[in-house]
Structure 1
Amino acid sequence: MQAATLPFSSGWRWIQDGLDIFKRQPLAMLFWSLMTGLIITVAYLIPLFGQMALIAAMPILTFITLNSSRNIIAGKQMMPGMWLAPLRDREARRSLMRLGMAYLICCLLGGFLATLPFMNELVAAVRTDGSIDETALLQAIRSPFITFGVLYLLISALFWHAPALIGWHRIKLIQALFYSMVACWRNKWPFLLYGVSWGAIFLAAQLLANMLVGLGLGTGVVQLILTPVNLVLAAILYCSFYPTYMSVFGVNYPTQDPTETPFA
């Protein structure tokens, strides 16, 4: 699989392309945004195991998202039965489940490696009577969070393109991780712009919420206003995953008619 090297501006272009996909079928992608949010909420209601299951399910959720965008680009109206259609392929489903377990293991290992060097500081935040010094704990967890953030960037690069490579092209897991890492490295600057841009967009939404509260609106009213905004932003974010893949690996399909389904 040959990965294209794209200019820095492609990071913003991916977001614009995601918006274009969203505009084609906004209700369908809002539905998926709502369902994904519900899945995340339910997962966090189940201590530890819920979060672990959510992490393991991420490749499958990503693959469903990619397929929905592919169908929308192809001019197919997303119907209820189409969302889980990509998982009917037994081989693809099993491969994605294995990818999910690998993702979970990498995240757990990353958390362990990020925490281990700072265990003394974390333990010191617990007083002899068993109570927790919150100030000391906040200072102690800062370094592990930063370390894990750096490690997670590497993990994300490994797994970013892997669901599509495995689900669509039947590439073996190790090869898919390698191709994904190479593709992300070649396009590190566009991905930097992509990540910074999305961070700025969601930060702007939060600042808008704070401004509305400052103007005297109740938190309940502000939440009512911001909920659909966040759903729309999340839907556009999900739509933008597909352009990040096709613009990098679409070079393997130079004769593909853009109005047709990119993959058979």
Structure 2
Amino acid sequence: MQAVSLPALAGWRWVRDGWMLFRKQPMAFFTWAMFVSLILMVASVTPPIGPLLFVVLMPTATLLSLSASRHAEQGQKILLGTWIAPLRVAGVFKRLLGMGALYVVFCLILGLIAFMPFSAEVTEALKSVTVSNDLLPLLEAVRTPMAIFAVLYVLMAAIFWYAPALVGWHTIPMTRALFYSGIACWRNKLAFVVYGLSWLGIFLAIDTALSALSMLGLPKSLSATIQVPINVVASAVLYCSFYTSFVSVFNTQQAVVSDSEPVN
């Protein structure tokens, strides 16, 4: 698979085209985003198995989102069977589970790399918390390793970003898919910066707007209730934008809105 190099503003177009794709079948995508949110909530309250299973299933969920988005872009109604259709291909689910397991292993390795040099400081801070119930020393102790982990995680995420689609749609071996994904993200790094900043701005704008309503007298409970469906819609559009990103970077024929000519 040959990835093109797109201008920085392509990152914003992925967001815009994700919104356009969401509007084609909003209830289907809203329901999917709500389902993913519920699974995440269940995983968060069932450690350690829940979070591990959630991460292992992330590549599978990504491919399901991409496949549903492709159906919507082609004007096909998204039904229940549409979501699981990609998993009916022989061997796909097994390879995606293997990718998810590898993702977990990479996360653990990156965690060790980031935190091991600071283990003494973190341990001392934990002892301080048990004595004084003051979280400030712990927060200060983990600030640097968390920053290191964040940088390493972004690099790792690039390797896995497009891999589920390359494995599920194009039957590319996992190692090659990870390599192609990393190259594609590197060639479009400026577009991904704009893409990430765009989504950061969107979610911050949602939170700021609802906080402002609370300051103007709207009950906090009502504000929180309103924020839930808005966040779900934003998440659904985010999932749709994964598809618009893929089809533009790999120049497939299913693009929702064609990007400008690639930049060499």
TM-score class, shorter: over 0.9
Identity %: 42
Q: Which residue of 1 aligns with 2:84?
A: 84
User: For residues 63-82 of structure 1, what are the structure 2 equivalents within 5 Å?
Assistant: 63-82=63-82
Q: Which residue of 1 aligns with 2:127?
A: 127
| Unaligned 5+ runs, structure 2 | 257-264
Amino acid at match of 1:117: P
Amino acid at match of 1:233: A
1:48-97 deviations in whole A, cap 9, x for unaligned?
21111111110000000000000001111001221111112231111111
Q: Which residue of 2 aligns with 1:224?
A: 225
Q: Which residue of 2 aligns with 1:14?
A: 14
1:163-220 deviations in whole A, cap 9, x for unaligned?
0000011111111110000000000000000000100100111111211221122111
Give the alignment's TM-score, normalised by structure 2.
0.93
Give, in whole Å, the separation in 1 of the partners of 2:129 and 2:112.
Answer: 26
CA contact (8 A) 2:247 2:255 kept: no
Deviation at 1:101, TM superposition (A): 0.7
User: For residues 21-32 of structure 1, what are the structure 2 equivalents within 5 Å?
Assistant: 21-32=21-32
CA contact (8 A) 1:125 1:133 kept: no
Amino acid at match of 1:87: L
User: For residues 103-142 of structure 1, what are the structure 2 equivalents within 5 Å?
Assistant: 103-127=103-127, 130-131=130-131, 133-142=134-143
Deviation at 1:127, TM superposition (A): 3.2
Q: Which residue of 2 aligns with 1:43?
A: 43
Amino acid at match of 2:66: L
- Alignment length (residue pairs): 255
| Unaligned 5+ runs, structure 1 | 260-264
1:249 corresponds to 2:250: yes
CA contact (8 A) 2:44 2:51 kept: yes
Give, in whole Å, the separation in 2 of the partners of 1:160 and 1:230.
Answer: 22
What's the secondary structure of 1:18's corresponding residue? helix
What's the secondary structure of 1:7's corresponding residue? coil
Q: Which residue of 2 aligns with 1:97?
A: 97
Give, in whole Å, the separation in 1 of the partners of 2:91 and 2:47.
Answer: 31
Deviation at 1:257, TM superposition (A): 7.1
Give the alignment's TM-score, normalised by structure 1.
0.93
1:24-60 deviations in whole A, cap 9, x for unaligned?
0001100101111011111111012111111111000
CA contact (8 A) 2:247 2:254 kept: no
1:196 corresponds to 2:197: yes
CA contact (8 A) 1:15 1:236 kept: yes
Q: Which residue of 1 aligns with 2:212?
A: 211
Q: Which residue of 1 aligns with 2:172?
A: 171
Amino acid at match of 1:76: Q
Give, in whole Å, the separation in 1 of the partners of 2:87 and 2:129.
Answer: 52
Give, in whole Å, the separation in 1 of the partners of 2:234 and 2:25.
Answer: 14
Greater Cα offset, 208-217 or 196-205: 208-217
Deviation at 1:109, TM superposition (A): 1.1
Q: 1:241 to 1:257 in 2, by over 3 A?
A: closer
Q: 1:126 to 1:258 in 2, by over 3 A?
A: closer
Give, in whole Å, the separation in 1 of the partners of 2:31 and 2:130.
Answer: 46
What's the secondary structure of 1:76's corresponding residue? coil
Give, in whole Å, the separation in 2 of the partners of 1:257 and 1:80.
Answer: 22
Amino acid at match of 1:81: G
CA contact (8 A) 1:126 1:133 kept: no
Q: Which residue of 2 aligns with 1:237?
A: 238
Deviation at 1:258, TM superposition (A): 6.1
Give, in whole Å, the separation in 1 of the partners of 2:105 and 2:130.
Answer: 31
Q: 1:137 to 1:187 in 2, by over 3 A?
A: same
